Structure formats: structure tokens, C-alpha cells
Structure 1
Amino acid sequence: MRIRAALIAVALTGLTALSACSSGANASDTLKVGVSPVPHAQILKYVADNLAASKGLKIEVVEFTDYVQPNTALVDGSLDANYFQTVPYLETFTNESGAKVEWVQPVHVEPLGLYSKKVKKLDELPNGAKIAVANDATNEARGLKLLEANGLIKLKAVDQPTVRDLAENPRNLQFVPLEAAQLPRSLEDTDASVINGNYAIDAGLKPATDSLALEKAEGNPNANGLVTRTELKDDKRVRDLAELLGSQQVKDYIKQTFSGSVIPV
């Protein structure tokens, strides 16, 4: 799915997100933030319930189940910020849409993992195994690099590889591109699937223990972070939220709640 096409589709069909509003919030001073349900909404609700009052900040948490609407809602002014994506994903979105949005700061890493209901170890994957990967350019490349790092394939030297950029595929793996949100469901029909951390956790998987292979957190360029429109980059509400998301209280909450499946930056 191309981001530009999705942007037009969402603009035509409207937003279908469910929102959880802070009680007594006034639209003029409330910061509306779009998030994925897990772990972003959990983390942001912790901030809203326990830390925001110290800054006089009111937060409205708006949940989305895909990776497209949080950006389109930010662009059209329905949101003031979002917290769900990585820098590479944001760069792809801005390059294709021309949107005036900016990265504020990283918050956490959700290691991408390879999961299976058919095998317990990587070396048990059969020749010709069906492997599902995300169909958006950023996460497809990230998933293929994970497979390469674990010796399953070799990729051509390109910045953002796709399944067409295999230099070596000794096991004749078959790749099945799917929307990222559908990858956990694909486990019933594939030998293994590369699943984003938030969708894995939401599906009841534990990345730290259930994955056949997992991205390393150290030096990982795919931290999830806070993003806003360019005109709001110096907004006090955005800066206050950034400070809270980077606080030791939030780091401790992430460590205690997600047991290594989500790692604070």
C-alpha cells in the first residue's frame, strides 16, 4: 500500500479512530495525540493519568489500528501530534506526501521479530517456507534486514530493499507481503511472519521470549517517537509532553510493564 494513495483514501472516507478523552479537557488547550493501541496508548495514558498535571497539560489520547491514519489526521489538523512511528517511516511519508511534519524525539524501541506457530527454531524452517512481511516500504526493508542478519537471505546493497532485491535465497523462501496489522493473523497460514513489536504484543506474543529472531535494541535506528506539525514544533504543550515521555518515570514504567518487549530509549 502506497502512503500517497492511502492519504487520499483516508481523506475521502474520513477518520474512524476511537478516542479516549481526558475528563474536563478543553479543545483549545488539550493536546490531541494519535497513537497505536499497544504500547503507545498505554504509555501515553500513563503520562496523562500520572504526570501531565505537573505541567498543567491536558492530553486526549486518540487510538488508531493502522500506520496511515495517524499521519493523515496530523496533517489535516485533527491531531496535534502522534506517537507511533520511526524516523525511516516518517521520512517515507513526508517524501511521498510533502507533508510539513517534524520528528520531536525518540521514546522507545519495539524490536521487530520473526514468529512462527509451525517451528520452534530458525533452522527448522523448511526449504520453500512461506514468510509474511509488511507491505509498506519501510517495514518490508526492516523485516528483510532482520532475516539477513540471521543468515536466511542475502540482500543487494540498496538502502531500502524489497523482496525483489534478494542477492541470495538459499532456502528458496517465499515471501507474502501483507499490511502490517494483518501479520499476526497470518501465522496460521505461513511458516513464519515478521511482525512489528506493537502488533506482536497486541496479539499476545512476547517478543523477548516468543520470537525466532529479534532485532537488537542497541544502536537500533527504528525507535518510535513523538511527531508534530512544523508549526507546532515549539508549542509548549508538545515540548512538555516530550519532556514527560523522556522522563525517568516513563522509562521505569516501560521496563516494568513490558519486560523487555519494549525498550526505553
Structure 2
Amino acid sequence: MKKRISLLLLVVLALTLLAACGTSKPAEHAGASTNDAAKTEQKKELKFGATAGPYSDMVNKVIKPLMEKKGYTISVVEFNDYVQPNKALASGSIDANLFQHTLYLEKFATDNKLELKSIISVPTAPMGLYSNKFKSLDAIEAGSTLTIANDPSNLARSLLLLQDIGLVTMKKDVNPATASEKDIAENPKNLVIKPVEAAQLPRTVDSTPLAVVPGNFALAAKMDLTKALKLENMAENYRNIIAVKTSDVDSQFAKDLKEVVQSADFEKAIDEQFKGFSKPEWMTKKAAK
């Protein structure tokens, strides 16, 4: 009898242990489901990076108030270079940024092995050729010094502007994302091209005969875009974009950002506060309908 009772107790104990093991798995799954739900919960507090000047103004004056109407809290982080905004985005220090065009984003992400992606393009200040010495393109003298941005993105874009004007001719099949002064095939006026930091270009307008100045730096220096000898005919891949981490492309906040930029309120604010900005093709096509 004692043996039977002992055996029965062992069976009961074994069944109890099995039941405990069986019930632990659903608890784990429940925890996983809770974590997944937390991950997909809509993010309402966003840090938005932008370079100091017109694009931080665009975020502060237009994007931020429109997103706040949707229930978001937006804090704007200003940067003074073209490297840190993407590194901060990739690290999660910020949730979105606005400072660069598509070609720069793609090259930077590839070179630095970062998972970043554009969600929409925005109206962009065009690059221009400025001079306080010459009043027209025809008046440009041979051998004049011309300052130009030394970062790959703006350098390539500046050279394409000079080619469109007819001041230089680039080599055939040059990569527009990596073009440099070494890719110049013809320079009929023998211009002395001097690369400098992009942020310093507005200052060089007073000290050198010619300067190619990116629109954001021109506006930050309170230059009049309409005073340029020539403004660029901007290609779509040179228009500034809002970028997020690739994993956030389909997030609700990314969708809301895109919806805000596509809104009539956004375009109205751009027309009123950012005169002279070149609108992206998607916006001009919408207006033509």
C-alpha cells in the first residue's frame, strides 16, 4: 500500500510540473505581445533635426505647428554641418531631419552603411552664382577667381550649375553625385576655382569676383536670391527631403509628416514665408490639376 501511495504521489508531482511548464509559455508569449504592442504604439514626441537657417525655420514655422495640430510634440535640433544630422538620425538621437537632397542622402548612407530613407521632398532654395563685381554673365573676366563649396554634395551641384551657364564643361559620363573640379573638361574663361567650406561662401562674395552659394547659406546670410547672376535649374534629386530611419518609413509619424507637407496649409505657408523657393514636381503637378 505504501508503495502504491508513493507511486501515486510521484505521478501527481510529475503532472503538476508538466502543467507548470505548459502554462509558462503563454505567459512568455503574452509578454512578447505586450512588447510588440509597445513598439507599434504611435510615437507622439519627435526630435526633428535641421541645419541652421531656412530649413530649421521651415520646420519651426511650418512643419512643427502643423504636426502639433495632429497631437505631436516637436523639438527642433539645429546642426551646423552636413555630417551630424544623418549620424544623429541613424543613432536614434533624432527621429527625422531636413537639410539634404536625395543624392547626398543616398551616397552618405551607402558610404557610412546607414539605413536612412527619404519620405518626401520639400520646396528648396536654389543655388546661385553671385557677384558684386560683375553685373552679367557676359561681363565675367577671364582668370577671375570663383569660390565654390568643398563638400562633395554642393561641389558637384555647383559644377553642374556652372556647366548649365556655359562657364565650364564637365567630362562625359561624370557621376553627378561625386563630380569635382578634377572632372572639368573645359574652362574657357580659365576661372580660378577655389573650394571653401559652404558656410563661408556668402562672406566670399565681397572678397572674390564670383561665388556659387547654396540657397540655404545665401538665405541664412540674408542674401537676396533674386540678385544672383543666375539661379540653378534645379533637378528633382537636388531638392531637399525629409529623411527618417528606414525602419520608420511606414510609421504613423512618418505618414503624418508626409500628409502635413502635402497639405494646402503647408503650401500656403511656403508661399507667404519662403518666397523664391523652388517647389518640387509633385507640388507643381498638384497645383496644375
Fold in common (TM above 0.5): yes
SS class of match (2:80) = coil
State the match for 2:166 in structure 1. 151
Matched, 1:238 2:254: yes
- For residues 277 and 203 of structure 2, the distance between their equivalents in structure 1, rounded to whole angstroms, comes to 19
- For residues 256 and 216 of structure 1, the distance between their equivalents in structure 2, rounded to whole angstroms, comes to 22
- Provide, for residues 187-211 of structure 1, a one-character-per-residue CA deviation record: whole Å limited to 9, x for no partner: 233211111111001111121x111
TM-score (norm 2): 0.77
Q: 1:49 to 1:169 in 2, by over 3 A?
A: closer
Counterpart selection for 1:85 from 100, 107, 110 = 100
State the match for 1:9 in structure 2. none
Q: Note the C-alpha offset of 1:48.
A: 5.2
- For residues 52 and 38 of structure 1, the distance between their equivalents in structure 2, rounded to whole angstroms, comes to 20
What is the Cα-based RMSD across aligned positions, in Å?
1.7
Q: Is the 8 A contact 1:109 1:220 kept in 2?
A: no
Matched, 1:139 2:154: yes
Q: Is the 8 A contact 1:82 1:226 kept in 2?
A: yes
- For residues 35 and 170 of structure 1, the distance between their equivalents in structure 2, rounded to whole angstroms, comes to 38
Larger Rg: 2
State the match for 2:245 in structure 1. 229
- Provide, for residues 118-141 of structure 1, a one-character-per-residue CA deviation record: whole Å limited to 9, x for no partner: 222112221111111111222111
State the match for 1:54 in structure 2. 69
Q: Which has the higher helix share?
A: 2
State the match for 2:210 in structure 1. 192
Q: Is the 8 A contact 1:47 1:244 kept in 2?
A: no
Q: Is the 8 A contact 1:115 1:212 kept in 2?
A: yes
Q: Is the 8 A contact 2:62 2:269 kept in 1?
A: no
- For residues 236 and 120 of structure 2, the distance between their equivalents in structure 1, rounded to whole angstroms, comes to 14
- For residues 139 and 249 of structure 1, the distance between their equivalents in structure 2, rounded to whole angstroms, comes to 30
TM-score (norm 1): 0.84
- Provide, for residues 11-30 of structure 1, a one-character-per-residue CA deviation record: whole Å limited to 9, x for no partner: xxxxxxxxxxxxxxxxx731
SS class of match (2:238) = coil
Q: Note the C-alpha offset of 1:81.
A: 0.9
Matches within 5 A, 1:4-83: 29-47=44-62, 50-83=65-98
* Structure 2 letter corresponding to 1:230: T
- For residues 200 and 163 of structure 1, the distance between their equivalents in structure 2, rounded to whole angstroms, comes to 22
Q: Is the 8 A contact 2:44 2:71 kept in 1?
A: no
State the match for 2:194 in structure 1. 176
Q: Note the C-alpha offset of 1:90.
A: 0.5
Q: Note the C-alpha offset of 1:146.
A: 0.5
Q: Is the 8 A contact 1:107 1:246 kept in 2?
A: no
- Provide, for residues 158-194 of structure 1, a one-character-per-residue CA deviation record: whole Å limited to 9, x for no partner: 1232111111111001111112111112223321111
SS class of match (1:205) = coil
Q: Is the 8 A contact 2:170 2:186 kept in 1?
A: yes
* Structure 1 letter corresponding to 2:233: K
Q: Is the 8 A contact 1:206 1:261 kept in 2?
A: no
State the match for 1:247 in structure 2. 263
Q: Note the C-alpha offset of 1:78.
A: 1.0
SS class of match (2:86) = helix
Unaligned runs of 5+ in 1: 1-27
Which aligned segments of 4 or more residues in structure 1 are displaced greater than 6 angstroms? Answer: none
State the match for 1:117 in structure 2. 132
